[in-house]
Amino acid sequence: MHKYLRLIRYKNLLFIAATQFLIKYGLFEAFGAAITLNFFGCFLLALATVCLAAGGYIINDVHDVETDLINRGEKTIIGAGVSEKTGYTLFMILNVVGVGIGFYLSNIVGWPAFSGLWIFASAILYFYATYLKRMALIGNIIVSCTIAGVVIIVGLYDVLPAINNQNQPLQLLLFSILTDYAIFAFLINLLREMVKDQEDIKGDYNAGMQTLPILLGTSRTNKVIFTVALVPLVAIFYYTYTYLFQNTIATIYALVLIFAPLLFVMIKIWDAEKKKRYTRLSFILKMILFFGLISVGLYKYIL
């Protein structure tokens, strides 16, 4: 059982589900927004999202055996603890369940066209694993868009369908806050994906991939990562100064758990060379993403 939990990255899936529940109950319902989904509906939304994410992890591992054997060795699961055939079967089952639930929810909220989002997400995760991840930056951007999608999908299903003339200002305000979080998730994950490319350059090179480090070299890619990191760094500082500065706890939270670690990553990435450093920086970026997203549940104590 443990090998299957590792295969689907169960810790990441728990984080995805927790984030979506925090958005609903820590942001939307905490501020009295008109909502569409009850608890069971939110559970189904999280379940559909988790199913597609788990399927994405599996199909990526199925097509990443060659690189994983070099980059991660004994941690490789497909071909060691789980067969490739089983991986494909699990991918299909999870995607059918995820898309099916998404179709059901889309009709429940009265926006059946939203069903296409789940079909598109399923397809893009498959094409990412089989082809797109081999292209410089394209794969990084696609993965980061899916992370942003985990955030924004809650607003699409729980807030937008409930908008009317009376509640429109509040609904749109909360959705705009959610959009800010989605952009944050996109940028931080994009940085992490580029750092992971640095970390996995040996295996990617042997697999014939065209990642940024392979095309530009590690030194130039470090500078690209540094430059890209300036965008969220400045945005976080501006956001903190403009909206949170009067709340001491919120300001300390943002500066200590998000701003300072990101600044640390920028300093350390400039002259990074060894895989060990890239691994550490990737973990720090993951923690920045974690603390950034769970802060959505703190808004009711801030505003």
CB 114 within 8 A of CB 106: yes
Answer for the pair 62, 87: CB distance below 8 angstroms, yes or no.
yes
Distance (Å, rounded) from C-alpha 45 to C-alpha 105? 7
In sign, the C-alpha dihedral spanning 74, 204, 51, 172 is positive
Per-residue DSSP letter, 107: H
Cβ-in-10-Å burial (0-12, 13-18, 19+) of 1 comes to exposed
CA Rg, the chain, in Å?
Answer: 20
Tokens of 286: 């993951």
> How distant, in Å, are the alpha carbons of 51, 159, 204, 296 from that of 290?
20, 23, 27, 11
Phi, psi of 94 (to 5 degrees): -65, -40
CB of 145 within 8 A of CB of 186?
Answer: yes
Rounded Cα gap, residues 251 and 272, in angstroms? 30
Number of domain units in the chain: 1
The Cα–Cα gap between 23 and 67 comes to: 36
Q: Where are the alpha helices (H) located in 63-158, listed in sequence order?
A: 65-71, 84-108, 115-130, 138-158
Tokens of 87: 């991986």
**pTM to 2 decimals?**
0.92
Tens digit of pLDDT at every position of the chain (303 positions)? 677 788 888 999 999 999 999 999 999 998 888 899 999 999 999 999 999 999 999 888 777 766 666 666 566 776 667 778 888 899 999 999 999 999 999 999 999 999 999 999 999 998 888 888 888 788 899 999 999 999 999 999 999 999 988 888 998 999 999 999 999 999 999 999 999 989 888 877 777 788 889 888 999 999 999 999 999 999 999 988 888 788 888 889 999 999 999 999 999 999 888 889 999 999 999 999 999 999 988 777 765
Could you give the 3-state DSSP secondary structure of residue 159?
coil
In DSSP terms, 82 is beta-bridged to 78
At 167 the pLDDT is 87
State which residues form the domain around 146.
2-302
Distance CA 103, CA 158 (A): 15
